[in-house]
Amino acid sequence: MSPIVVELVTYPVKGCAGISLPTAVLTPAGLAHDRSFMVIGTDGGFRSQRRDPLLAIIQPSVSADGTRLDLSMPGLEPVGIDVDSTGPRRDVELFGAPFQGIDQGDTVAEWLSAALGAPSRLVRVPPEHARVTGGLTPGTAGYADGAAVLMLSLSSLDLLNQRITDSGGRPVPMGRFRPNIIVGGWDEPHTEDGVERVTIGGGELAHGKVAIRCAVTLVDQGSGVPSGPEPLRTLADYRRMEGGGVGFGTTFAVLRTGGLAVGDDVIVTRRLDRVVAAQRS
């Protein structure tokens, strides 16, 4: 089987549930609307599943033009807002780096505070957002941890789950790693690590860095409950990266925007001589 896209997933609200798509628009900042909203605490720091695992069961829905956002969660009445793209800015922070966000008002803030049991607000990436992401190829992104796109292959997950089950554990689903583009047809696990440039549909991507994985991977994405120690325990056996941490999946910057679809060929046009050091994602 030739390598193809088997799933496209966007995560409109950082840390919340993803939306599987048959087609997607690839923008300079990744799949349209990906991590364009973020939940913050009173200090402007972002809320993450690392501390707030219930984010995983908050399901967003965003209109194609990005002007409407709806949120739902078991046990709460859904909430919907007309997205404010001109409102007051708030200072926010991502891993110590300062950014700004457009506050989305009290209604959704009160809903999120009830959902998470802690004072929270929702912000949106402002039009003037000019973030530059690091790695082999600089790019931009919304509020993603690492870069515009995270790619992961089925063969990489298959190898991980084989190792987990061989040691008596239970396999983990792809959703634990929150990728944007899932590739099938690469026989060799971790082929994505060595891809420097790749064309998919109307878009082109360039290698950023291998993604360092954190405690988010321990959270059951269907229940919002941490269920460790896998997959981090097994990844530590064979995926330790230079500089520390365990790597799984690869981040990419966007070189050319365009349309993507499930079933698109994944055409590698250039490969790396060596894998680039890892980056948190």
Chain segment 101-151, per-residue pLDDT in tens: 999 999 999 999 999 999 999 999 999 998 999 999 999 999 999 899 999
Instruction: Tell me whether residue 111 is exposed, middle or buried, using C-beta atoms within 10 angstroms of its C-beta: 0 to 12, 13 to 18, 19 or more.
Output: buried
Chain segment 67-86, per-residue pLDDT in tens: 999 999 999 999 999 999 99
**Rounded to 10 degrees, what is the CA torsion of 227, 192, 183, 211?**
30
Contact status, residue 18 vs residue 41, Cβ threshold 8 Å: no
Chain segment 218-259, per-residue pLDDT in tens: 999 999 999 989 999 999 999 999 889 999 999 999 999 999
**CA 41 to the chain's CA centroid:** 20
Q: Which 8-state DSSP code applies to residue 162?
A: H
Give which of 177, 130, 185, 162 is closest to 237, Cα–Cα.
Answer: 162
Average per-residue pLDDT for the chain = 96
Set out the domains of the chain in order of their start, with CATH numbers.
Answer: 4-30+133-280 (2.40.33.20), 35-124 (no CATH)
25 vs 33: CA distance, rounded Å:
9
What SS3 class is residue 230? coil
Residue 219, token pair as written in the block: 């959270």
275 vs 193: CA distance, rounded Å:
6
> Per-residue pLDDT for 280 more than 90?
no
